[in-house]
Structure 1
Amino acid sequence: MLILRNMIYSKQKHFNEFLNSIEGINLNTLSTRLREMEKNQLIERRIFHEIPVRIEYTLTEKGKDLIPIIEQMGAFSMKHAPEIFKNSKASSFQELCGRDPASL
């Protein structure tokens, strides 16, 4: 979920961006999660044949269908467990998701 959240709201698309932004995740776990999401057609892995080789991950249409669900989970968390967000960079759902939870 954190990988998808970061792809959606932080526009992250590179392995190292995910690795540096998800606290406590290790290389093997991140690699496994990305492969699972690719296998389940939630994300697409694009290889750019440059020097050095560049790899980007993007949401598929199926992955984009999860956006409302992730937004609802954020709204639920803000309503029922605000302490979850007290140490995050975003201080409100609107800051985090770019819209008011009442609009969901």
Structure 2
Amino acid sequence: MSSARNPAPRSDCAIAGTLDLLGDRWSLLIVRDLLFRGELRFADLATSAEGVPTNTLADRLRRLEESGILARRPYSERPRRYQYRLTERGRDLAPVLDAIATWGVTHLPGTRRLGSP
């Protein structure tokens, strides 16, 4: 079943399905920040070095939550504010991010792993 937020998959290819969920410019960077920095607030994620626009950040956080990659919990009632953390499903992306980082360090001069000097 598909909806506006969860369109029908393009195919039964696992790579295509994963790219439909995580293949945009920002989603894996959000996962990266939550993986390496732990539970974060919207403002923390908005200050990422890559400069994600706040409207895009809000959209990606909603999509990742709907997909079970991250979860949110309120930390303030007025105004309503949330903290975000990876779910087990989201943490399972760690080897994927490690492989991407390894490839980048090997093939993209001037890059480094997050947290490396």
Query: Which protein is richer in helix relative to its size?
Result: 1
TM range (shorter): 0.7 to 0.9
Partner amino acid, structure 2, of 1:90:
S
* 2:98 is the alignment partner of 1:90: no
Matching residue of 1:76: 103
Shift of 1:31: 0.1
What secondary structure, in the 3-state scheme, does the structure 1 residue paired with 2:116 have? coil
Shift of 1:51: 5.6
Q: Alignment identity in percent? A: 33
Shift of 1:30: 0.4
Matching residue of 1:43: 70
Q: List runs of 5+ in structure 2 lacking aligned partners.
A: 1-27
The TM-score with structure 2 as length reference comes to 0.66
**Distance of 1:69 and 1:23 partners within structure 2:** 20
Give the one of 47, 66, 70 matched to 2:93. 66
**Distance of 2:56 and 2:97 partners within structure 1:** 21
1:46-73: per-residue Cα shift (whole Å, max 9, x none)? 1235566441111111101101111111
Matching residue of 1:28: 55
- Equivalenced residue count is 90
Give the one of 14, 17, 42 matched to 1:15. 42
Q: List runs of 5+ in structure 1 lacking aligned partners.
A: 92-104
Kept in 2: contact 1:12–1:18 (CA 8 A): no
